[in-house]
């Protein structure tokens, strides 16, 4: 039995320009980073997971 493939909508005109403008502005924002405390906690969890037994 075949599954129908849905058409993908294509943005055109002002809507497309607005979408691109917003995407480019969001791409310029700084990416959040983890604090040193969070990094240490992650390391502890990873170390404990290596020694975990069922």
Predicted confidence (pLDDT) per residue in 1-13, tens digit: 678 888 888 889 9
Cα 38 to the center of its chain, rounded Å:
19
For residue 31, the 8-state DSSP code is: P
Whole-structure pTM over 0.75, yes or no? no
Q: Which two tokens stand for residue 22?
A: 């917003």
Q: How far apart (Å, rounded) are the C-alpha atoms in residues 35 and 43?
A: 13
Q: pLDDT for 1-54, tens place per residue?
A: 678 888 888 889 999 999 999 999 999 988 888 999 999 999 999 999 988 877
Q: By three-state DSSP, how is residue 23 classified? A: helix
């Amino acid at each position: 039995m075949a599954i129908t493939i849905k058409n993908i909508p294509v943005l055109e005109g002002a809507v497309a320009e607005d979408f691109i403008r917003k995407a480019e502005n969001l791409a310029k924002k700084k990416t959040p980073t983890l604090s040193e405390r969070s990094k240490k906690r992650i390391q502890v969890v990873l170390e404990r997971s290596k020694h975990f037994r069922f």
